[in-house]
Amino acid sequence: MDEKNEQLISQYDIVVNSAYKSRGNLIINCDRGLLILTGYNYSEKKAEMENMIKKALIKAGYVNVDLFMKNTEGSYITTNRYASKFVLKKWYQAQECDLNEVEDIKKAAKNLAMLHNAFDLVKLETEDNDKLISRDICKEYYGYNQEIKGVI
């Protein structure tokens, strides 16, 4: 493992057994199971909100969720000496969906349906709702559509 990743991992309370790179991320096998160290370009507040929703998904029965782990300072986001932001998340050993295999596509569709059903069961506490970042999704997607039209 290189020095940059060691410096980041040292900020978590984990014992690393092994680690390997995968698609620009670091997969870590440790005393807490399989984890992934990945870049993160958002705020601590967004990470907190995202984790809150993921915990609600787990409570609703959708268990394979990549929860964030807090570092030794109690933050979800860890920075390296270059001020790049990273997060450590619970991870799963899984096989990618092969779009040429009908069975893989069926499994992916079933998993997506399970996720949607779990979202229907997600109930956030009143104080949790106050943490959610309000967005005007119609305005946001209008902007995306304008960008696409500009490219075409």
pTM value is 0.76
Please report the pLDDT score of residue 138 as a whole number: 77
Dist CA 90 CA 88 (whole Å): 7
Where on the phi/psi map is residue 83: left (φ > 0), alpha (ψ -120 to 50), or beta?
left
Give the pLDDT confidence of 32-42 residue by residue, as tens digits: 999 999 999 99
Please report the pLDDT score of residue 133 as a whole number: 54
Give the pLDDT confidence of 56-69 residue by residue, as tens digits: 899 888 888 999 99
Give the pLDDT confidence of 68-121 residue by residue, as tens digits: 999 999 999 999 988 999 999 999 888 888 999 999 999 999 999 999 888 888
Domains for the chain: give ranges and CATH numbers: 3-151 (3.30.200.20)
pLDDT band at 130 (very low <50, low <70, confident <90, very high): low
Please report the pLDDT score of residue 109 as a whole number: 94
Please report the pLDDT score of residue 113 as a whole number: 93
The total of other beta-carbon atoms located within 10 Å of residue 128's CB is: 14
